[in-house]
Structures are given as C-alpha cells and as structure tokens.
C-alpha cells in the first residue's frame, strides 16, 4: 500500500480563498483544488491508498470545529481512503482534555505548526502537549524548518528538536520536510540517527515552478536526500507530499526512481506509515 502521511484539505466554502492567500504568501502553485474531493481524485489518479490529512490550528478557538471535521472524515475510513489527524494549539490550556478527546475518537495523532501558531518548538507548552500525546500513544507531526510562506523566523530548528527529544523523549514524533525544510545540512549533522521519524513532504523531486530562476527556494538535491535517508535509516522515513502543494503521482515516481533497494522503497512509501498508524496491513 502507498500512504501519503502529509496532506492538507480545506473546507469547500473557503478552499479557493485559502489557496489564493497561501499562494500569495509563498509564490507556490497547488497541484489540486485543496478540497477533500480534490484529494480523493488525486489519490485515484496516483494510486495512493491512504492519505493522512494534517489540520493546522492557527488559533485556540478553532480546535473544536477542526476536530469535529477530523472525526467526521475519519469515521468514513474503511481501510483505505482519507484519514485525518486532530489539531491542537499551544494556547489551549485544556490540552489534556483535547488530547483525550482526540484519542477517544479514534484519531491516530495530531499536527503542530509552530510557524502558524507563533510559538517556538521548544516552548514548554509544546513539550507538555507532546509528553501527554506520547503517554496516550498518539503520533505527533510537526512542521520542521523554514516555512516557505512565513520565512522570516524559523520556529522549529534542529537544535529545538534536539532539546525536545532530550527532555520529552517522544516515541512517535514525525518531523515534516525531512527533519527541517531548507536546513538539511543541520538535520544531517544533528538529527539523523535520533529516535524520530521524518517525512519526505515537499523536500525532493521535480516541482516545475520551484525550479524557475526567479524563485529563491530549492528542494534537497538527490545527493542530499539520499544522504539523509541513509544516515537516518529507511525504517524511520515516511512518504509525504504536502498535497495540494505537490502532485502525488509525481512524488511517488520520484521516490520510486531513487537508487534505493525495493525493500527500502516499500518501507518509505507505505510500510513505515502503516506501522505508525497501527493499521492491520502493517503486519
């Protein structure tokens, strides 16, 4: 099975405006319309069996609404299709109550986004959330490294991650964007080999608009991408696309074309994610 561990969707009523705003900030070009239906269409076209939606809570009051949607999406999961994580904000004082609700609803994890939540990843509030999420057996996915839409301050650096790993010792922490977007030299030096997972979202491959000379951002080279995988171990890498910001079909081809063993490609494209999610096909 192929599992995309890092996708985003937006409510139909605001999807278009949300994409317009994010495009204006980041100068990106989405590969789909950002709706749940758009993601499902992309999955059918690309052969993705499971997509994990990672909701981003940008204000504490959004938690209840976002998690209600997450529960409804996941309730329709039948062994394949779309699965949603829950959302939480460091400003939620009742974080234990929220995490208990996420766990009891059958959601497998949460998404944190320090840049959009305006808090450093080594903030004590994140440490408390991650510690209790670990106690509950939840997966924690965090945006790591530079955010292409909010690049002025990096709220999750490898040094901050090391501090959290040392103090909290999370068991199922996933660092999006290969450990730290656009900070891959630091990731290689400080994070590879640590007890943490990394996802491949928006980190490597062919993204036509990004290769333009007018754009200042660059993805990891094949050489660097392979260094990260080999130094960290394919057992702790999960496939992700950041859909709608990367085309799922193209991203799968990019992974399949790498000079890795078939066994490692299977781990990255699905087996590791299934184990993290605790789904039957992981056996």
Residue 251, pLDDT above cutoff 70: yes
pTM: 0.94
Q: Backbone phi, then psi, for 34, in 5-degree steps? A: 80, 0
Closest CA to 31 of 256, 251, 255, 254: 251
User: Given this model, what pLDDT does residue 31 score?
Assistant: 85
**Mean pLDDT of the 219-238 span:** 96
Total Cβ atoms within 10 A of residue 47 = 11
Q: Considering the chain, what percentage of its residues have pLDDT values greater than 70?
A: 94
Number of H helices, E strands in the chain: 11, 9
User: Given this model, what pLDDT does residue 240 score?
Assistant: 98
Where do we find the tokens 């400080």?
A: 190
Q: Which of the four pLDDT bands, split at 50, 70 and 90, describes residue 40?
A: very high
Residue 172, pLDDT above cutoff 70: yes
User: Given this model, what pLDDT does residue 282 score?
Assistant: 46
Residue 217, pLDDT above cutoff 80: no
**Mean pLDDT of the 90-107 span:** 98
Copy the structure tokens of residue 148. Answer: 């292409």
**Mean pLDDT of the 7-33 span:** 84
**Mean pLDDT of the 250-279 span:** 97
Name the helix (H) or strand (E) containing 276.
helix 272-277
As a whole number of angstroms, the distance between CA 57 and CA 199 comes to 20
Residue 215, pLDDT above cutoff 70: no
User: Given this model, what pLDDT does residue 219 score?
Assistant: 86
**Mean pLDDT of the 100-127 span:** 98
Q: Which of the four pLDDT bands, split at 50, 70 and 90, describes residue 10?
A: confident
Please say whether the beta carbons of 42 and 248 come within 8 A. yes
Higher-scoring residue by pLDDT: 29, 78: 78
* Burial annotation 67-79 (CB, 10 A radius, 16+ → b, else e): bebbbebbeeeee
Residue 132, pLDDT above cutoff 60: yes
User: Given this model, what pLDDT does residue 161 score?
Assistant: 98
Q: Considering the chain, what percentage of its residues have pLDDT values greater than 90?
A: 81
User: Given this model, what pLDDT does residue 277 score?
Assistant: 95
Residue 210, pLDDT above cutoff 80: no
């Amino acid at each position: 099975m192929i599992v995309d561990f890092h996708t985003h969707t937006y409510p139909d009523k605001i999807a278009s405006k949300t994409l317009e705003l994010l495009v204006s900030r980041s100068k990106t070009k989405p590969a789909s319309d950002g709706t749940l239906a758009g993601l499902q269409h992309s999955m059918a076209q690309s052969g993705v069996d499971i997509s994990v939606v990672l909701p981003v809570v940008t204000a504490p009051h959004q938690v209840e609404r976002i998690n209600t949607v997450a529960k409804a999406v996941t309730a329709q999961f039948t062994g394949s299709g779309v699965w949603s994580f829950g959302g939480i904000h460091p400003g939620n004082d009742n974080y234990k109550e929220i995490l208990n609700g996420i766990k009891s609803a059958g959601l497998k994890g949460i998404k944190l986004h320090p840049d959009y939540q305006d808090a450093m990843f080594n903030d004590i509030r994140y440490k408390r959330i991650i510690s209790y999420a670990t106690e509950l057996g939840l997966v924690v996915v965090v945006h790591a490294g530079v955010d292409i839409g909010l690049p002025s301050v990096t709220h999750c650096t490898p040094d901050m991650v090391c501090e959290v790993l040392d103090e909290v010792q999370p068991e199922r922490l996933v660092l999006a964007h290969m450990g730290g977007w656009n900070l891959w030299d630091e990731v290689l030096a400080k994070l590879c080999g640590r007890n943490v997972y990394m996802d491949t979202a928006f980190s490597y491959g062919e993204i036509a608009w990004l290769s333009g000379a007018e754009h200042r951002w660059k993805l990891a080279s094949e050489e660097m991408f392979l260094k990260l995988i080999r130094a960290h171990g394919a057992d702790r890498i999960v496939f992700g696309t950041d859909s709608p910001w990367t085309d799922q079909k193209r991203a799968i081809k990019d992974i399949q074309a790498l000079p890795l063993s078939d066994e490692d490609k299977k781990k990255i494209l699905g087996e590791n994610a299934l184990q993290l999610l605790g789904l039957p096909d992981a056996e």
